[in-house]
Amino acid sequence: MSTEHLNINDSSELHSDRETPASSEPYTLVLESLLDAVWETDKTGRPIGDSATWRTYTGQKVDEWQRKGWLAAVHPDDLEHAQQSWTVSLTTQVALAIELRFSRPDGGWRWTNLRAAPALNEHGVVEKWVGICIDIHDRKQLELRLIDAETRFQLYVNTSSDIFYKMSADWSEMRSLSGKNFLSSTDVPTLSWQIDYIPEEDRAYVQAKIEQAITTKSPFSLEHRVKRLDGTIGWTFSRAVPVLDNEGEIIEWFGTASDVTQHKRALEGLADNEQTLRSLVASAPFPIGVYEGSEMRIKLANQAIIDVWGKGNDVVGKRYAELLPELENQHVYDQLDRVFTTGVPFHARNQRIELTIDGKLKPFYFNYSFTPLYTSDGQVYGVLNTAAEVTDLILVKQALENSQQRLQAAVELAELATWSMDIPTRTFHYSKRFMEWLGLSEDKKELDELYLSVPEQYRQSVASAIEAVILPDSSGRYENEHPVVNRSTGQVRIIHVQALVFRDDDGQPKLLSGTAQDVTVQRKIQLALEGQVQQRTEELTQRNEELAFINEELAATNEELMAASEEIAAANTKLEEVNQNLIRSNRNLEQFAYIASHDLQEPLRKIQQFGDLLKSRYASAGEEDIVYIDRMQVAASRMSALIRDLLAFSRISTNQVKTSPVSLGKLVSEVLDTLSIAIEESQATIQVDTLPVIPGDGLQLQQLFQNLIANGLKFRQADRPAFIQIKSQLVSRIDLPASINPERQVDMYCQIDVIDNGIGFDEKYTDRIFQVFQRLHGKNEFAGTGVGLAICQKVAANHGGAITATSVPGVGSTFTVYLPM
């Protein structure tokens, strides 16, 4: 039962033990069962009778109780206040209520709530006093610890380099903020904190992150811009954890923030130099990767992300799913696909990811983002992956029961080590983290022994600074930054130390208490960034000098090029005139050949007809006369054949190519049917391999194959049957012979070889045989006009291709045609 629910105020029911013993006994029993001790005194304060509960509670003897009363059991520090309060109550007859320490049978002291009320008789006169005692020692100890914890918490807030703040459960109210000369501080709750601290254009984004943290009841973590104390815009990294009650509801938020303005500005300065940015990405302590295409092929991966994956360094070019198959059922593939498909970034906070490390699945926690990468025309071509491992993040689960929990949360979030120095005894006490940093197994050391953890070149300056701050007339504030050495492992850390001096009632320094923060990484990054900026500045200066020299040379070269361009322009004009004249000449020649062929055919037919008439009329004439007539008719036949070939050449030269899919296998079969009589007479064997379908003009291609096969039949060896083979293959442009220059450049060509075992020819005549009217043999040896191969060359050129030949005299020839696919 608490003291607030117990009141002794009905004096009409209180009577002396002598008058109503029967009614008094139950009352006493009830009180004794509910309270720790009960006693009675007369109206002057002298004890009445014995009180077993009182003696059991305090350990007082009967005679001491009866002689000295309850004041004899009061703690010396509380006695004066107890005596004064008891005297006032006896004098004014007003009930007594006081908290003080009473002695215990074991020799200790316990805090007790003492209440005493006057008992009145039927005339309203005080007859006696009844006192009750309730043990409040546990509650009182907790209150004292709360006060101590609150004091220490305020110390850490004042001495830490980080910003501390408290927010209401829904973040509508900022309850307090210690700005550390970065932001304006406030000890008064404010509802306008977003207007005061957040730039207008960033408020919606910050509010969205806050609402997400409230909804999930998870820690808030965000890097964002803020309005600084001097009115400028800066950057901060803010972290806050929710404090929950016993039912898991948020009571308030407790957070810290760091000034990262310089870090952000350094990164922005480096962003102008692409090479520097690549170097920064490669050496960044947090994972970064770039994946391209819908297959998510790894384009870039810095060492940090390679180390996280644990799959070795050979990762670039592999598919993301191929490298990390264990992520198949962890939604990561779907997240990447949505970002690539929709162009909407994805951000995950405190996400559990299981990775296979050394053959075993191990859980990790990450904050990561998938950001779409766009081409210049706005198309998504890849995804940028940035991450930070937060596996060791500690979630605050306990409700706000006392300020000690808030203090511990602040220390953990800021990764601070705590320490204190008892100035009179010159002994140090450390937190567990500080012990780990220094490699100590005990949490208490003498001051001189502590200095052994400081490198020798820093010991004197550290000792002097501490001695100065504990002087009676010092400011009482200590701040220093120096390295410390782990005495077990030898590891060196740079720590930033802050502390305050606490004084006793006489104003003398009593306690130096503070925090230490490991700033090793920050200092290394700061030095590295400063070095990189200096290096890039020097490189840019040197390059500017080189560019100035190059520009001078380019200016001189440009003048020469302008003069050359004028000469080339004049030459091009002349070439264009020559080209137009050549085109007109070729057109006239083709037209002449076409007309001449038609006009010459008619007189030749007349000559042949009249020759036949003469031969039949003079059949009985002399043999010599008949020979002349035969020679005339043979000459007319050769002339007719020449005109037909010339007409065919002219037709192929003037007609446009009508392109359609042409089956070369079917086309060659038709040609063989046309030449079947010549094939049978020469007892030739024709071998045709599988031929493709190509785009082309069927009539022209038929003329090409008919001429090539007819040549193979005509120029055969007299002592053996003719053998002709036709085969094909695909060949790429880069694999074409150096001597072949097709009319049209494409990636792939169809190479067709027509191979015979005929008489062959000397290869020095290769170019000559494809010219019009060019023959290597006399007309009496082999019939022909010298136009057939020229037609073949024209057909190949019309199709954008080329033709060539190779041969060995007495062995055979190979005619090779290249046609674009």
Q: What pLDDT, on a 0 to 100 scale, did the predictor assign at position 550?
A: 79
**Cβ–Cβ under 8 Å, residues 513 and 470:** no
**Listed residues 570, 599, 623: the one ending a domain:** 623
- 130 and 163 in a single domain? The answer is no
Q: Write the pLDDT tens digit of every residue in 145-158.
A: 757 656 666 666 66
The tens digit of pLDDT for each residue in 597-625 reads 666 666 766 676 767 777 777 666 666 66
325 lies in some domain: yes
Mutual orientation of helices 788-798 and 698-714 as an angle, nearest 10°? Answer: 150
> Quick one: 620 exposed, middle or buried, by C-beta within 10 A (0-12, 13-18, 19+)?
exposed
Instruction: Report in angstroms the alpha-carbon separations of 416 from 160, 407, 427, 434, 497.
Output: 8, 11, 20, 8, 10
Rounded Cα–Cα distance for residues 450 and 440 (Å): 10
What average pLDDT does range 657-682 have in this prediction?
A: 89
Same domain? 81 vs 190: no
Do residue 364 and residue 458 come from a single domain? Answer: no
Residue 339 has pLDDT above 50, yes or no: yes
- Model pLDDT for residues 223-281, shown as the tens digit of each residue: 999 999 999 999 999 999 998 877 889 988 988 898 898 888 877 765 555 565 567 67
Distance, CA of 675 to CA of 680 (rounded, Å): 9
CA distances from residue 357 to 105, 312, 361 in whole angstroms, order as listed:
63, 11, 6
Say whether pLDDT at 428 is over 90: no
- pLDDT of amino acid 227: 93
- Widest pairwise Cα distance in the chain: 193
CB-count burial class (<10 Å; 0-12, 13-18, 19+) for 499: buried
| 485 and 552 together in one domain | no
Please state, as a whole number, how many other Cβ atoms lie within 10 Å of the Cβ of residue 763: 13
Residue 400 has a pLDDT of 40
- pTM > 0.75: yes or no: no
Structure-token pair, residue 264: 């952000």
- Report whether 429 contacts 420 (CB < 8 A): yes
Residue 327 has a CB neighbour count (10 Å cut-off) of: 18
Give the containing element (helix H, strand E) for 52. helix 52-58
Q: Which two tokens stand for residue 629?
A: 């007539």
Q: Is residue 587 part of a domain?
A: yes
Asked if residue 486 and residue 596 are part of one domain, the reply reads no
- Is 639 part of any domain? no
395 falls within a domain: no
Confidence of residue 90 (pLDDT cuts 50, 70, 90): very high
Give pLDDT, residue 220.
94
CATH of the domain at 46: 3.30.450.20
Closest CA to 394 of 371, 370, 420, 414: 414
Whether residues 562 and 506 fall in one domain: no
Q: Tell me the pLDDT tens digit for each residue of 538-588.
A: 888 888 887 888 788 777 777 877 877 777 777 777 777 766 766 676 666
Beta strand extents in 375-462 (DSSP E only): 380-389, 416-422, 427-430, 444-446
Q: Which residues, other chains included, contact 167 with Cβ-Cβ below 8 Å and sequence gap of 6+?
A: 173, 174, 175, 240, 252, 253, 255
Q: How far apart are the first and last CA of the chain?
A: 102
Distance CA 766, CA 477 (A): 102
Residue 750 CA: distances (Å) to CA of 671, 726, 768: 20, 13, 24
Query: What are phi and psi for residue 409, nearest 5 degrees?
Result: -65, -40
Last residue of some domain: 353, 372, 389?
389
Q: 62-76, 384-398, 414-428, 798-812: which range is least confident on average? A: 384-398
What distance in Å separates the CA atoms of residue 269 and residue 462, rounded to the nearest whole number? 36
Q: Percentage of the chain with pLDDT > 90?
A: 34
pLDDT at 359: 87
Question: Is residue 522 a contact partner of residue 533, using CB atoms and an 8 Å limit?
Answer: no
Helix/strand/coil for 760:
coil
Q: For the CA atoms of the chain, what is the radius of gyration?
A: 54
pLDDT digits (tens, 9 = 90+) for 443-463: 777 877 878 889 989 989 888
Mean pLDDT score of the chain, rounded to an integer?
A: 82
Query: Sign (positive/negative) of CA torsion 271, 207, 229, 243?
Result: negative
Residue 91 lies in a domain: yes
pLDDT at 106: 92
Q: Read off the pLDDT of each residue in 514-534 and give the average, rounded to a whole number.
A: 85
Tell me: do 419 and 338 sit in the same domain.
no
Q: What integer pLDDT is reported at residue 26 of this predicted model? A: 47
pLDDT reported for residue 4: 33
Query: Does residue 469 have a pLDDT over 80?
Result: yes
Residue reference for tokens 């075992």: 757
Residue 47 has pLDDT above 90, yes or no: yes
Q: Both tokens of residue 383?
A: 């995804």
Tell me: do 598 and 737 sit in the same domain. no
What's the pLDDT at 124? 86
Note whether residue 398 is domain-resident.
Answer: no
d(CA 604, CA 635): 10
Residue 280 and residue 214 in one domain: no
Which of 3, 255, 274 lies closest to 115 in space, CA to CA? 3
Domain count for the chain: 6
Residue 808 lies in a domain: yes
Measuring CA to CA, which residue among 752, 804, 773 is closest to residue 649?
A: 773
Please report the DSSP string for 540-593 in residue order: HHHHHHHHHHHHHHHHHHHHHHHHHHHHHHHHHHHHHHHHHHHHHHHHHHHHHH
Question: What is the structure's pLDDT at 785?
Answer: 61
Residue in the block written with tokens 């700033």: 519
Q: Which residue has the tokens 């062929």?
A: 597
d(CA 325, CA 355): 9
102 inside domain: yes
Q: How many whole angstroms separate alpha carbon 207 and alpha carbon 205?
A: 5
Name the residue with higher pLDDT: 203 or 141.
203
List beta partners, residue 346.
370
**3-17, 104-118, 753-767, range with greatest mean pLDDT:** 104-118
Domain carrying residue 562 = 526-623
* Backbone phi and psi for residue 819, each to the nearest 5 degrees, phi listed first: -120, 135
Q: What is the pLDDT of residues 702-729, one digit of tens each?
A: 889 988 998 888 888 888 889 999 999 9
CA atoms in the 13 A half-sphere facing the CB of 223: 8
Cα–Cα dist 376/145, whole Å: 64
Find which of 248-252, 659-663, 765-769, 815-819 is predicted with most confidence, using mean pLDDT.
815-819
395 DSSP 8-state letter? P
- Confidence at residue 556, expressed as pLDDT on a 0 to 100 scale: 79
- Considering 460, 495, 518, which residue would you say is the last residue of a domain? 518
Q: What is the mean pLDDT of residues 411-438?
A: 83
**Do 167 and 291 share a structural domain?**
no
Tokens representing residue 355 in the block: 């990775």
Place of tokens 């050769």: 638
293 with 259, same domain: the answer is no
- Residues 111-138 pLDDT 10s: 999 999 999 888 889 999 999 999 988 8
Where is pLDDT greater, at 306 or 402? Answer: 306
Question: Which has the higher per-residue pLDDT, 172 or 526?
Answer: 172
- Quote the CA–CA distance of 144 and 724 in Å, as a whole number: 114
In what helix (H) or strand (E) does residue 666 lie, and over which residues does it extend? Answer: helix 664-674
H/E element, 728: strand 723-732
Let me know whether 8 and 94 are in one domain: yes
Buried b (16+ CB within 10 A) or exposed e, 392-405: ebeebeeebeebbb
